[in-house]
Structure 1
Amino acid sequence: MVTGFHVLKVEGYSQFKGLSVAKRVKSGTFTVGGHSWCISFFPDGYDDSSADWICIDLYLNHTPTSGSVRARYTMSLLNQVGKPMPPYQITNAMSTFVAGTKAGAHGYPKLISRREDTESLVIKDDCFWIRCDVTVLHDEIRREVSESLMVPPPVLQRYLGNLLDSELGGDVTFEVDGGDLFAAHRCVLAARSSVFKAELFGSMVE
């Protein structure tokens, strides 16, 4: 598993109040496990049933792999010194995210009440901070890596020919009629001919 986090700082909170239900403000993107994520802040709730609450989503912005991403996450409201406030910290079970669909977002419809006494407790100087910790399953990372690997084309014969032409690593020399000398590689000769194998590595070694 791979874990990372991002902190969304909401400055000028009062100017977002009244943005209207289901309208969101997005954080900058961040990367965990090779996938791109962002946090969405709904100052007036998801819908009419949560209009009196501040709602927070984790959104899978983009993934280089096809299919879904399995991840667990925790949303925490931070105090003035950057520490989580237990009454406003929620951990979600493992969820499936699919970028570009409704399943690309998961979150909490009622994280912070917009009642005046609650707002005065958690919002200081018209600001508050939300930290999101994300853990992506190892299987997702492994699949991402395996799909990114490039398998070389089956051209070993060409590479061996280039090695022979360069005479690099040649450890056998043939002398043919006329005195011409040709370098070769004993491992290749032994692999291609049982006679050479016996002469170079077996009982016929001289």
Structure 2
Amino acid sequence: MRIILLGPPGAGKGTQSARIVERFGIPQLSTGDMLRAAVAAGTPVGLEAKGIMESGGLVPDSVVVGIVADRIEEADAHNGFILDGFPRTVDQAAALDRMLAEKNLALSTVIEFSVDEDALVGRIAKRATETAARGEPVRKDDTPEVFKTRLTAYRTQTAPLSAYYASLGMLETLDGMKPVDAVTGDLMTVLERHVRTAPATAAAIS
């Protein structure tokens, strides 16, 4: 089962990803982690990325897709994976689709957590206040100003992915404002349906 989770920062993607990993035994793949691992391992794509980063450039989509392509060939991803932080744009999504098609693979589903952004800002502000009250350092990302900037970036760059995957008939939307366990219940219902309806031929490689 190959899954993409969509939703703005604070929507609960990390929490739900961990529960998918536990339930289905497929890895959560972070593009940042994969990029660092490829550079450390000195793979051809990793060396290309290293050269670009050392020169101060942004790693192009083609290199990121190449790193994803290498990673999903590893044994732990043979039964599927969850992509975390990628794709971020429609161009990246199209490139990912082409790469998977070349491997005779396809995404199983794309799940979006629908949330109220104003409520999210309030939730993050409350968390920052409670953290400070305990005398613990507040994460930079948890300050309301930084969080609002991240939301704006998501809305501009990543939100259009919803329409892209909806046009392909792949998008499923869940209410991300429900209690965490209720969201998990809805999520598992969707994923179990995909497991039951997966073609036998796909099951051998998914």
TM (norm. structure 2) is 0.24
Higher relative contact order (CA 8 A, sep 6+): 2
Q: Please identify which structure carries the higher strand content.
A: 1
TM (norm. structure 1) is 0.24
Q: Please identify which structure carries the higher helix content.
A: 2
